């Protein structure tokens, strides 16, 4: 005779099975599109990829017209968003700062200018511009010369106090500290080229003309702030290139090691410098020297401009809507953190991560995006402690569609399969020759064990959809899962199911 307790267990399991299969179950419970079961089944099949075994997946799909969630799979599960965090930071920056917002760098003087001499200190004051380049610093030095200044009797002072002096967000890993993706944040910083990786230098190793000779090293911008230790040698053309370019932690010593074939191509790395304010000051001092302006005093990296100082000239950045192209297209982490600190400065008078995150959270809640269900730790998504549900990302993407600044936001998103770097961005080599090519506009994200893709797609029957895909805790590579879902949405024809 069967144990009564065991019999009750069997009855309960049979009833539970019936409930799982009942046609009255909602899409929230089962992750099935109401009235669109074929599409729901396709996405569920994609999510059964063996590379997701033991992993977590959050998927949310909405109608771009109504905002209705038409499919979700664990859409309320808090997951690491990686660089999809930039969608939140970027939207808040567009709202709070505005698409026309610019950053300023100033040259100020304390003291009297008599003839060709400044009898006092000269200040280089940064206000967060991540697009400042060596050519801009040179132009400012030239402008000082045109004003007739030939000598500074006092010190040359760098002022980065527009933001706080915390250089790295709290969850940056030690091995990211020298990488350009984890560059230190300063209100006074210089970028090596038009991609605006502020606070970095580009170090390139070229073969010499002589086998056995040291590799030729070029640093952009040229400076005396970093120390180059060249241990790389040129080898015969039949040998392999094996070059490492690394900065020693807590120093600005960059070590180049390995071998490079005599007829081989260059090796190049973007290296984050330690205390980037000092690099900006070094370049400005060099520019002054090249213009024939002598500085009698010393370089002061940690100074603060007196209130009585006079502004001699200023340099203005490109507007925010133009900065958004490299920021979002190629996922520039430094831009996100600068925007976060700038929002904190503008709204709360404090350029810090804490105050910037307050602004982002307030923006989200003000727009009916539930920040209370998130944990936000930085602006870029580099933190492994950020946690955001896919449903809230798709909700944000719906809510911003009616903003005046949305066209600039939309334009900044990477375009699937478009080979132009500043159009396709991080999606330029993905979803080529599919219905998603030149259709999907979405922000990518990637950390170890984390990938994300959220944005917009037009289905085959012309319906605009919003999607968010967050995949966490996998061991292999699952970007194909993201792409398969995006392509499935692009191929979807609602009418074919009716």
Annotated catalytic residue 244: no
Tokens encoding 223 = 């400076």
Can you say whether residue 371 is alpha, beta or left, with left for phi > 0 and alpha for psi between -120 and 50 degrees? alpha
User: Whats the size of the chain, residue-wise?
Assistant: 498
What DSSP string runs through 100-140?
A: T---EEEEEEEEEEETTEEEEEEEEEE-S-TT-BHHHHHHH
The Cα–Cα gap between 140 and 148 comes to 13
What is the H or E stretch that residue 305 is in? none
Catalytic residue among 186, 267, 269, 331: 331
Residue 48: is it exposed, middle or buried by C-beta count within 10 angstroms (0-12/13-18/19+)?
A: exposed
Q: Which residues does 34 contact at the CB level (< 8 Å), separation at least 6?
A: 26, 27, 70
**Of 299, 276, 22, residue with least CA distance to 160:** 276
Beta-carbon count within 10 A of 259 CB: 17
Annotated catalytic residue 237: no
What is the H or E stretch that residue 488 is in? helix 479-491
The Cα–Cα gap between 484 and 491 comes to 10
Q: Which residues does 83 contact at the CB level (< 8 Å), separation at least 6?
A: 331, 333, 380, 381, 443, 444, 445, 446, 452
Annotated catalytic residue 83: yes
Question: Which alpha helices (DSSP H) does 242-380 contain, by range?
Answer: 276-290, 320-329, 333-348, 353-366
The residues that are catalytic are: 83, 86, 331
């Amino acid at each position: 005779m069967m144990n009564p307790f065991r019999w009750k267990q069997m009855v309960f399991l049979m009833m539970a099975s019936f409930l799982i299969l009942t046609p009255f179950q909602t899409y929230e419970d089962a992750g099935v599109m109401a009235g669109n079961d074929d599409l729901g089944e396709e996405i569920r099949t994609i999510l059964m990829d063996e590379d997701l075994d033991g992993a977590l997946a959050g998927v949310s799909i909405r109608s771009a017209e109504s905002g209705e969630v038409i499919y979700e799979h664990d859409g309320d599960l808090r997951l690491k968003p990686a660089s999809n965090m930039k969608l939140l930071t970027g939207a808040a920056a567009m709202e709070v700062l505005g698409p026309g917002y610019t950053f300023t760098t100033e040259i100020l003087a304390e003291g009297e200018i008599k003839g060709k001499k400044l009898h006092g200190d000269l200040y280089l004051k940064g206000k967060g511009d991540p697009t400042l380049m060596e050519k801009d610093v040179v132009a400012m030095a030239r402008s000082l010369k045109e004003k007739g200044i030939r000598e500074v009797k006092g010190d040359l002072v760098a002022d980065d106090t527009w933001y706080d002096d915390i250089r790295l967000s709290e969850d940056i890993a030690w091995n990211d500290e020298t990488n350009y993706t984890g560059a230190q944040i300063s209100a006074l910083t210089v970028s090596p080229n038009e991609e605006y990786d502020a606070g970095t230098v580009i170090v390139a190793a070229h073969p010499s003309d002589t086998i056995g000779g040291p590799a030729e090293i070029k640093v952009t911008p040229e400076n005396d702030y970093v120390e180059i230790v060249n241990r790389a040698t040129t080898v015969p053309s039949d040998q392999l290139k094996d070059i490492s370019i690394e900065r020693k932690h807590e120093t600005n010593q960059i070590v180049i090691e390995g071998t490079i074939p005599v007829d081989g191509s260059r090796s190049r790395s973007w290296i984050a410098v330690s205390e980037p304010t000092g690099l900006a000051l070094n370049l400005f001092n060099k520019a002054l020297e090249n213009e024939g302006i002598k500085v009698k005093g010393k370089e002061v990296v940690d100074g603060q401009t007196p209130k009585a100082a006079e502004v001699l000239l200023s340099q203005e950045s490109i507007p925010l809507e133009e900065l958004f192209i490299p920021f979002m297209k190629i996922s520039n982490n430094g831009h996100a953190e600068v925007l976060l600190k700038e929002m904190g400065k503008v709204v709360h008078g404090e350029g810090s991560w804490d105050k910037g995150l307050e602004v982002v959270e307030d923006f989200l809640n003000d727009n009916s995006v539930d920040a209370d269900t998130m944990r936000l730790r930085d602006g870029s998504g580099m933190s492994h402690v950020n946690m955001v549900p896919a449903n809230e990302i798709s909700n944000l993407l719906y809510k911003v569609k009616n903003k005046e600044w949305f066209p600039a936001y939309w334009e900044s998103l990477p375009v699937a399969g478009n080979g132009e770097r500043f159009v396709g961005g991080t999606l330029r080599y993905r979803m080529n020759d599919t219905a998603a090519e030149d259709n999907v506009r979405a922000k990518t994200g990637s950390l170890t064990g984390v990938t994300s893709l959220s944005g917009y797609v037009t289905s085959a029957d012309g319906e605009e959809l919003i999607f968010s895909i967050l995949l966490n805790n996998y061991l292999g590579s699952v970007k194909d899962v993201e792409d398969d879902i995006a392509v499935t949405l692009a191929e979807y024809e609602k009418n074919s199911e009716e």
